[in-house]
Amino acid sequence: MAFDGITLAHGVGGPKDLPISPELAIAGATAALVVSFTVLAVAWRKPRYDATTSGRPAPAWLAGIVGALWWRVLWRTVGFVLFAYVAAAAILGKDLVINPVFGVFYVWWWVGLVPLSLLFGPVWKAISPVRTINAAFAKVSGSDPETGVFTYPAWLGHWPAALGLFAFVWLELVYPYSTELGPVRLWCAAYVAVMLVGGALFGNVFYERADPFEVYSTLVSRMSAWGRRDGVLLIRSPLANLDSTPALPGLVGVVAVLFGSTAFDSFKDSTHWVQFVQGSTTSAYLLNNLALLAFCLGVGAIFAAGTMLTGLGDDLRRLQLPDLFAHSVVPIVVGYVVAHYLSYLVEVGQLTLIQMSDPFSNGSNLLGTGNLDVNYWLSYHPTLLANIKVVAVVAGHVLGVIAAHDRAIRILPPRHQLTGQLPLLAAMIAFTVGGLYLLFAA
């Protein structure tokens, strides 16, 4: 997909962007995980992160602003105005690659949610246009948007969100007409329709558990410094905040789709896969569908096996363990998003801002950004970019090991608190080696 000469190929752009030794990076990353685990085993014998007690209240002035009605209305207004503006471009704009809808959909919405959620907390919950529309319908009808006609089934958990996320990455990475306006409009219309019906039936809990973008944004926000307990705004360690992630059914499915799709994004551009697809008599579309599904299922299966191959106490069931440890994959997901999409977000994100001034492709400059130029500083410093990517991957895995270790020594019986983590450590090492290999092979 090209935007005015810029190729919107996801991933890292190829080995030329990574002027460092892949063998050294993989060996160093593996050593970092093993050393981290060893240090934790020796020095970290009691759990340190507890969402029920950690954190300190935010300053009163900040809590007052965040809790004020005008602050919430401001975020809702910004979200809905942006939604209406992009919807106008999608409905009335031309089916050209310079239509800003593509940049907003694939770059701002998908990748941009990560840094925004790290900085400000669960951003999508604050600006979600479907929440705004649902609240407006509820006000007109005299009902409460918090409650619906039915109680959301507990067993569903985050599985609808996992399915929604898979639908998005399928459109983005596999569907051959993803750069045409029609499929994007249809996907967004279906998303809005499902969210509005779900909100009417189950209330706002549907968005918390089933909206793919709210679940995605909220998970990433667990790595921010902002948290809440009993309605009080807190400032606390990101890892302590991460500990507050509810272990709901389907959480493993969500992180598996996020991680697996990012890995597939690099894999599909690797030389070996491209040569295999070109030399095969099977449809490339079918092969890419199967590969995307295999990556997501494979990540989930490896992680589930790594968490379940341990000894248990009488108060746990083996099938509970994957969801109880799934929060430890969140920093890994964040690390891979940074590694794969940093330059993509910075450069194509700028281009999208430029195109936003001309939503109907008629030469207008409505926002005054049409005459700006894209800054390619990151691409002009490939060594720095390569180091950032490798550090992001390694840091994400190390933080994941720390989060998993802290959870293990809290919930596993003493005799299994260390040996029981070895299968999960092996899974983390496999993810690290595979992720870095794909980073260099793309």
Q: In this predicted model, what pLDDT tens digit does every residue of 361-406 receive, in sequence order?
A: 999 999 999 999 999 998 898 888 888 888 888 899 889 989 988 9
**High-pLDDT (> 90) share of the chain, %:** 60
Q: Give, in degrees to the nearest 5, the angle at Cα 134 between 131 and 138.
A: 135
**Distance from C-alpha of 421 to C-alpha of 430, rounded to nearest angstrom:** 14
H or E element, residue 16: none
Phi, psi for residue 341 in degrees, rounded to 5: -120, 10
The residue-averaged pLDDT of 338-361 equals 93
Phi, psi for residue 151 in degrees, rounded to 5: -85, 130
Query: Which residues have C-beta within 8 Å of that of residue 153, sequence separation ≥ 6?
Result: none
Q: Is the pLDDT of residue 138 over 70?
A: yes
The two three-digit tokens of residue 306, written as one number? 């790594």
Q: 3-class DSSP state for residue 228?
A: strand
The residue-averaged pLDDT of 61-75 equals 93
Q: Is the pLDDT of residue 15 over 50?
A: no
What mean pLDDT value characterizes the chain? 88
**Distance from C-alpha of 383 to C-alpha of 27, rounded to nearest angstrom:** 19
Q: What is the pTM of this model?
A: 0.91
Please report which confidence band the pLDDT of residue 29 belongs to, taking 50, 70 and 90 as the band edges.
confident
**Distance from C-alpha of 50 to C-alpha of 187, rounded to nearest angstrom:** 39
Bigger pLDDT: 373 or 231? 373
> So what's the pLDDT on residue 22?
72
Q: Give, in degrees to the nearest 5, the angle at Cα 82 between 209 and 200.
A: 35
Please report which confidence band the pLDDT of residue 7 belongs to, taking 50, 70 and 90 as the band edges.
very low
**Distance from C-alpha of 234 to C-alpha of 431, rounded to nearest angstrom:** 33
> So what's the pLDDT on residue 439?
75
Q: Is the pLDDT of residue 10 over 60?
A: no
The two three-digit tokens of residue 20, written as one number? 């460092």
Q: What is the pLDDT of residues 284-323, one digit of tens each?
A: 999 999 999 999 999 999 999 999 888 776 677 888 899 9
Q: What is the pLDDT of residues 31-45, one digit of tens each?
A: 888 888 888 887 888
The two three-digit tokens of residue 64, written as one number? 């007052």
> So what's the pLDDT on residue 1?
47
Residue 163: closest CA among 118, 212, 209, 95: 212
**Residues pairing with 229 in the sheet:** 232
Phi, psi for residue 220 in degrees, rounded to 5: -65, -35
H or E element, residue 56: strand 56-57
Question: Of 11-20, 114-123, 228-237, which gets the smallest average pLDDT?
Answer: 11-20
Please report which confidence band the pLDDT of residue 438 belongs to, taking 50, 70 and 90 as the band edges.
confident
